[in-house]
Structure formats: structure tokens, C-alpha cells
Chain A
């Protein structure tokens, strides 16, 4: 009986962990020094277009061409027009691009040079 309670508790905790991760839980993991990092390309006139190009090549397969998290009307991945993404600091977005959320299917894009990741951040912050 005790074992069943532990198992049920673990299931609830695991469910909460996954729900949290898929619901912006990663934001709580961003270290303070990363959270406040400024975007060095925030004023770069070409950064939004360049970031959009990277997005189309590498991110749109999951997040959709319009970044709404919808591909083929069936798969739902995080909507990048959401309030959460709008509220996120550039540093937080850079952190999730760098580290990914491997348990939740978001890969790490650390293989892209830092400036390229900042271009993507600039694009994401430009989304309506």
C-alpha cells in the first residue's frame, strides 16, 4: 500500500515536471547572469532577416513556418508568439537555444556560433 502511494506520488511529480518543462519551466533554470545578458545584435539591421533565415532552415520543422508551434495542423510544439516568449529576456532565449531542453525534445543548438544564435534571438523578439 505504501509502495502504491510512493508510485502515485512519483507519477504526479513526474507529470508536474514534464508539464512545467513544456510550459516554460525551463525559464526558472536560467542562471541570473545568463538571464541579463544583452543581445549584441539588437541594433544590427540585418540580424532579424538573418535570424529568420536560420529559423526557416532549422526551427520551422518543429515550430512551424509561422512559429505558431503547429506543423501540418497536427503537431503542437511551443508557440513562439506566446506571451511567455514575448516576456522572456534575450538572455533567456539565448540560454534555451544554447542548452535546449533535451528531455522535452528541444535540441541544443550550441553548434551554431554565438552570433548566429543571437541572430535567432533577434528574430524571435521581432515576432508579432
Chain B
């Protein structure tokens, strides 16, 4: 699908908006320490987090690409977070396109902290088949999914359900996600998983203000992949990735995260590199109304 001029302006506008918001000088903090895996931490009520999640790779037999999902995450209340993603990508020797959008909702059914904390996740996505943002791997997704050209016109409209399980223990977060995705066309349910573990480098905060203190950094790892389809459930012809994740939260500033993802079998791309920058705005709508 070649991009319509008005559509091409959309991610650009959002980036400009994000940069403008960066100048607002408001506090920020990161919610998640992963790229694909979700923990049970939701956005704080009234806060808006703007994040650019990018991935770059050079697939076998395909053109190198950079895909970005621009994320707007809003805390509706203490147990419900909603998100809008705008996806776009640039592929070498092809073009730059807006590939579609995703709307997500995460709901925490239990109001207290438990040993394992469940979160229910619902998503609708309307994307170009060429979308390479790779926010999940399901079914028999393989490195061939990186090959469709940007000019491809097919749209996929899908619903996605996730069961998110997550625990915090002795400074560690351990999260497990189980995904079921259904193309609204005549296709069967596809399944996938994502696992993550991370920990800040320090368990106590130092009394002095600092940007490079150990407590501002977190190290972890995540692994994700497909689990086949309804009629071919299992690991056959699926792809899987594993990689370390490092996060840096600048106090009252943006957060950065990066992760090299290594393909674990011949169906996976050898190396993908992920990078993310996020910024959180407290009491977003109060600020829009001009309240201090």
C-alpha cells in the first residue's frame, strides 16, 4: 500500500507532537521494562505515556527496514489502561509507509497485589500485511513475514487476546504472556507467548539527585515466539527470539530501552535490534485545560 499523503503526515505529526511535549518539562517514568512482554503494571490514572518503539532488521532475501510503533498509553483509572498505536516503517529500496493502527485495553481484575497478578488484554488491529513492527509473534510467523513489500495492499484486521501474568519478588519482575490472535477473515486462531524477567541494578535509591545512578538502570531478558494455530498447535514451523533488555529512566526526563533480539531457529530472523524512547505526562487532561 503506497501511502496517502494525509496518512503519511500522521506519524510525522505525532512525532512533532511528542517532541513538543518533551519541552513541557514534566515528570516521567517508565512502566514496563520489556518490548513485547507486558507486566501487570498499568499506567497511573490520568497520565499519558508517549513512546516510540522501533525495530530494525535486515531479513534474508528482503530489504533492511526500520519500523516504529508510536504508542499513546493512557491510564483511565487504577485498573484500566488504554493504548493507541500508530505503526509506520521505512524499507530500503521501497518506501516509507503508515501501516495502520492498534487499539489496546488492559484490565486488572484483582484489586490487590498477589503472588501472581493477572491482567486481561484486548486488542483490535487494522494493519497492512507488510507491517514489521513485530509487537507480537504468533502462529507460524516466520522470517518470510518480513518479505512483503511496502506497496502490498492487503489489510489484516485482527483481534488479539492476552492473558498477562506477572509477579514482583525481591526486586525482580517476572512476566508471562499467552496470546491468542484471530484474523477477522476466514483464518483460524493463532497462539504465541512472551516471557520476561528484569531487575533494577540497585534495590535502594541513593539520597542524592543523579541521572546515572544504578537505580535508574534495569537489566533483564525477554523471549517470545509462536505456538502454532488452532489445528496445528505446537512449535513446528514457528519462530522464536531471545534477547537482553536494558532500560534507563532519567528522573524527570525520558526513558530509554534497547534490546538486541536473536533468532533462535531457522524460521527466525538472525538479529533484530529494538530501541524505545518514552515520556510520561502526569495529569494530561488537567494540563491540557491549562491547570498548573
Which residue, A49, A57, A61, A119, has most C-beta atoms of chain B within 10 A? A61
> Which listed segment binds A: B39-47, B56-64, B177-185, B271-279?
B39-47
For the complex, give the distance between the alpha carbons of A51 and B204 in Å: 9
CA distance A16 to B200 in the complex (A): 40
| Residue of B47, B168, B282, B283 ringed by the most chain A CB atoms within 10 A | B168
Assess A61 versus B200: contact at CB under 8 Å? Given A102-B111, A106-B78, A116-B215.
Answer: no
CB-based nearest A residue for B167: A110
Nearest-neighbour CB distance to chain B for A70, whole angstroms, equals: 11
Chain B CB within 8 A of A72 CB: yes
User: Known contacts A57-B29, A61-B282, A99-B113: does B203 contact A115 (CB below 8 Å)?
Assistant: yes
Q: Contact: B168 with A110, CB < 8 Å?
A: yes
Partner of A61, one of B113, B171, B283: B283
The contact of A58 among B29, B112, B168, B203, by CB within 8 Å, is B29
Q: Does B153 contact A (CB under 8 A)?
A: no
> Contacting A110 at CB < 8 Å: which of B46, B113, B208, B283?
B113
Judge whether B209 is part of the interface by a CB distance below 8 angstroms.
yes
* In the assembled complex, B79 has its CB within 8 A of some CB on chain A: yes
Interface centre among A57, A60, A71, A98 (most CB of B within 10 A): A57
Contact B42 A113, beta carbon cutoff 8 Å: no
B270 at interface by CB-CB < 8 Å: no
- Distance of B278 from chain A, by nearest CB (Å): 15
Residues on A with C-beta less than 8 A from B42 are 107
Are the CB atoms of A103 and B111 closer together than 8 Å?
Answer: yes
A102 to B119, CA, bound (A): 13
Is residue B105 contacting chain A, with contact meaning CB distance below 8 A? Answer: no
Is the beta-carbon distance between A50 and B78 smaller than 8 angstroms?
no
Which residues in chain A, 71-112, are within 8 Å of chain B measured between CB atoms?
Answer: 71-75, 98-108, 110-111
A83 CA / B252 CA spacing, docked (Å): 31
Q: Is the CB of B204 within 8 A of A98?
A: no
B206 in contact (CB, < 8 A): yes
User: Cβ of A27 < 8 Å from any Cβ of B?
Assistant: no
Chain A's interface size range is 20 to 34
Set of chain B residues within 8 Å of A104, measured between Cβ atoms: 78
Most chain A CB within a 10 A radius of its CB, from B47, B108, B111, B206: B111
Q: Is the CB of A111 within 8 A of B204?
A: no
- Asked if A46 is at the interface of the complex by the 8 Å CB criterion, the answer is yes
- Is A105 touching B77 in the complex (CB atoms < 8 A)? yes
Min CB distance B201 to A, Å, is 11
A101 x B78 contact (CB < 8 A): yes
Residues in chain A near residue B112, CB distance under 8 A? 99
**A53-B203 in contact given A103-B78, A104-B78, A111-B173 (Cβ < 8 Å):** no
Q: Judge whether A23 is part of the interface by a CB distance below 8 angstroms.
A: no
* Residues 28-70 (chain A) with a chain B CB within 8 angstroms: 46, 49-51, 53-54, 57-58, 60-62
| CB-defined contacts of B168 to chain A, threshold 8 Å | 110-111
The 3 lowest CB-CB distance pairs between A and B, nearest first, are A102-B78, A49-B207, A72-B292
Q: Given contacts A72-B292, A107-B78, could you give 18 more A-B pairs where the C-beta distance is less than 8 Å? A: A46-B206, A49-B208, A53-B209, A57-B27, A60-B27, A61-B27, A99-B113, A100-B113, A102-B78, A105-B45, A110-B113, A111-B31, A111-B168, A111-B173, A113-B171, A113-B200, A116-B215, A119-B204
- Chain B interface (Cβ < 8 Å from any Cβ of A): 27, 29, 31, 39, 41-42, 44-47, 75, 77-79, 108, 111-113, 168, 170-171, 173, 200, 203-209, 215, 251-252, 282-283, 286, 291-292
Interchain Cβ contacts under 8 Å between A and B, 8 examples: A74-B291, A102-B77, A104-B78, A105-B46, A105-B78, A111-B31, A114-B171, A116-B215
